[in-house]
Amino acid sequence: MTKDIFVIAEHRRGEIRDITFELLTKGYELSKDGGRLHTVLLGFQNEKMIDELKPFSDGILNIDDEKLKDFNAEYYQMVLSNLLQEKKPFITLLGQTAFGIDLAPSLATALDMPYAADCIDIEIDKERVYTEKQIYGGKISSRVSLVENWGYMVSVRPGSIAPKEGELKAEVTAITSPLKEEIDYRRFVQYIEAAKGEVDITQAEVVVGIGRGLKEDKNLPLMEEFAKSIGGVLACSRPVVDAGWLSKDRQVGSSGKTVKPKLYIAVGISGAFQHVMGMKGADTIVAINKDPNAPIFTVADYGIVGDLFQIIPKLNEKVLEVK
Ligand SMILES: Cc1cc2nc3c(=O)[nH]c(=O)nc-3n(C[C@H](O)[C@H](O)[C@H](O)COP(=O)(O)OP(=O)(O)OC[C@H]3O[C@@H](n4cnc5c(N)ncnc54)[C@H](O)[C@@H]3O)c2cc1C
């Protein structure tokens, strides 16, 4: 039995998606158990993507076929069920993304392979594979052991692994595409970009999260000014969106976005687990709340207990002074 780890690369319009680098980081760690790490790249005219992927694995299995230019789970399944059956990797990793959700369950079923979905961590312990999953909306972490098999499939939640720089030099192996016939019952038609808000909170290095503690939308300018002076963007908890103070694309949490800024300042946010799920990966968390027992303080690196309407203007003043 090999101990090889396969990562199925995800790309869109010729760009490798971030999840691929997250999977490769985990794959590298898992391959230290005696296996080799391979990136499996299905696409068309893959040269640029190969260059980008080279430092991240020992090998790249490159399947270059015009039919694979845009994602179509049917073609992917045809190629991968052959390849995985032949190479028999120990663990195959995919993202818990639209791509992985579409592909992994039916691929695992076709291969009769144990599959764990939406995992946040994976561990190999004495030939057994264990994954960590959050259940009950993130309230409980469960450790799942997979039934014994020659290989396992795991899809990993985006943002649960911090990607690292690659230091490897992958050897590229061209694999002949087994695709012969066109599939007409399922076709790629076109990309339609999701409408974007004016700011992308997932890309910001400093995020100021505001909660119901702000009381009314007429207090928003206070927070906007503060966010601007510290060079950050405004995000929020769900009640702020429900009240219509900020748009949905600013919501952080289980039904909003996951942010990983260098600094997250939670202002008037209690720290419900649905909110914390979306911001606990921030490098530094500062919480401002008048309730010393607010759960947000359990995840904060720094806490200020007090009234935000007194604290924020003072902090703002200090920031401007330092600037
Ligand atoms: C299925 C589901 C999905 C959900 N998804 C999300 C999600 O994605 N994101 C999310 O955020 N929530 C989500 N929620 C809601 C979540 O459970 C909480 O209700 C919500 O996060 C609470 O928001 P909050 O902290 O702003 O408000 P509250 O819980 O009301 O907290 C307000 C806080 O402000 C403090 N405060 C009040 N006045 C001041 C003041 N003057 N100065 C300082 N502090 C003050 C209070 O002490 C309190 O801690 C979800 C819920 C469900 C059921």
Q: Which residues partner with 5 through β-bridges?
A: 37, 91
Structural domains of the chain sorted by starting position, each given as residue range(s) with its CATH number in brackets: 5-174 (3.40.50.620), 201-322 (3.40.50.1220)
Ligand 1 pocket residue status of 209, Cβ below 6 Å: no
The mean pLDDT values, 10 residues at a time, for the chain of 323 residues are 93 94 97 95 98 98 97 97 97 96 98 96 92 84 94 92 93 97 92 73 94 97 97 97 95 90 97 92 96 97 98 96 88
Is the beta carbon of 237 within 6 A of some atom in ligand 1?
A: yes
Q: What value, to the nearest 5°, has the Cα angle with vertex 282 and ends 277 and 285?
A: 95
Give the amino acid at 61. Answer: L
Q: Each residue of 63-98: b (16+ CB within 10 Å) or e?
A: bbbebbbbbbbebbbbbbbebbeebebbbbbbbbbe
List the residue whose alpha carbon is closest to atom 31 of ligand 1: 270
Ligand 1 pocket, residue 166 CB under 6 Å: no
* pLDDT score, position 91: 97
> What's the confidence (pLDDT) of residue 46?
98
CA distances from 224 to 121, 219, 232, 238, 262 (A): 36, 9, 9, 18, 19
CB of 258 within 6 A of ligand 1: the answer is no
pLDDT of residue 195: 64
Q: How many A from CA of 142 to the centre of ligand 1?
A: 25
CB atoms within 10 A of CB 190: 5
Query: How much distance in Å is there from the Cα of 315 to the middle of ligand 1?
Result: 22
